[in-house]
């Protein structure tokens, strides 16, 4: 997400307060990984970085992969992913 703001009319103190307020609100409302600030005459400067969000995403990905491994069966030598419905049908057909 990018937020474009024209802040040239603010004094430096007001600018800092505004950035802090916006950052706090966005961080509370969303799972933000990082916040950067860029002006026309500057490189991108990091203001906030949250490794916990990345760790949570990685944990969810690992959990999904584990779930998919449980749903894999071998039929005639071919690995097949079964949905919950198809797993139920297979249990009925092969008790």
**What is the per-residue DSSP string for the chain?**
-------TTS-HHHHHHHHHHHHHHHHHHS---EEEE--TTS--EEEEE-HHHHHHHHHHHHHHHHHHHHTEEEETTEEEE--HHHHHHHHHH--
> What's residue 67's pLDDT?
58
> Would you kindly state where each structural domain of the chain is located, as residue ranges?
1-49
3 vs 36, higher pLDDT: 36
- The predicted model scores a pTM of 0.48
Asked if the model's pLDDT at residue 76 lies above 70, the reply is yes
Q: pLDDT per residue over 14-70, tens digit each?
A: 888 988 998 899 888 988 888 888 878 889 888 888 888 778 878 887 777 665 566
């Amino acid at each position: 997400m990018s937020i474009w703001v024209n802040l040239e009319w603010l004094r430096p103190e007001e600018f800092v307060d505004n950035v802090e307020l916006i950052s706090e609100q966005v961080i509370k409302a969303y799972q933000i990984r990082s916040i950067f600030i860029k002006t026309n005459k500057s490189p991108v400067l990091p203001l906030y970085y949250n490794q916990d969000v990345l760790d949570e995403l990685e944990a969810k990905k690992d959990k999904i992969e584990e779930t998919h491994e449980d749903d894999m069966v071998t039929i005639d030598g071919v690995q097949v992913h079964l949905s919950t419905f198809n797993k139920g049908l297979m249990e009925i057909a092969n008790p």
